Amino acid sequence: MLKQTITGYTLKVINESMGVLIDETFMDQIQYKIFLKMIHGSIELGNNLSFYNGDAFLVHIPNKILINSVIISNVEDISISDQVKSKIESLVTK
């Protein structure tokens, strides 16, 4: 089961040069999982991440930016420098 914070399920997508691209909190675990699967599918298939909820939430991130971003879920108190360092280390080990 996913860890739930008091404020819901959190998701951040951070790009080294562009900063925070997505910083969302989901109250519904199902919506959270669907959004995570959309991000994972975009990365694996090499597609852009495009999503519109029909109301007020529109996201379009080109794949070349998405694959060079750090994606964090349900994490608190981690600095951006720690996240970028982790991304660099993962790229070096590939």
Q: Is residue 58 part of a domain?
A: yes
pLDDT at 2: 55
Q: Tell me which of 51 and 94 has the higher pLDDT.
A: 51
Q: Is residue 32 part of a domain?
A: yes
Q: Is residue 4 part of a domain?
A: no
State pLDDT tens for residues 10-51.
899 999 999 999 998 887 778 888 889 999 999 999 999 998
Q: Is residue 66 part of a domain?
A: yes
Q: Is residue 40 part of a domain?
A: yes
| 20 in Cβ contact with 26 (< 8 Å) | no
Domain span at 70: 9-92
Total domains in the fold of the chain: 1
Q: Which residues pair with 49 in a beta bridge?
A: 61
Q: Is residue 15 part of a domain?
A: yes
Q: How many degrees, rounded to 5, is the angle at CA 61 between CA 71 and CA 15?
A: 45
Dihedral sign, Cα of residue 74, residue 59, residue 71, residue 83:
negative
Residues 6+ apart with CB under 8 A from 23: 10, 11, 12
Percent of the chain with pLDDT over 70: 80
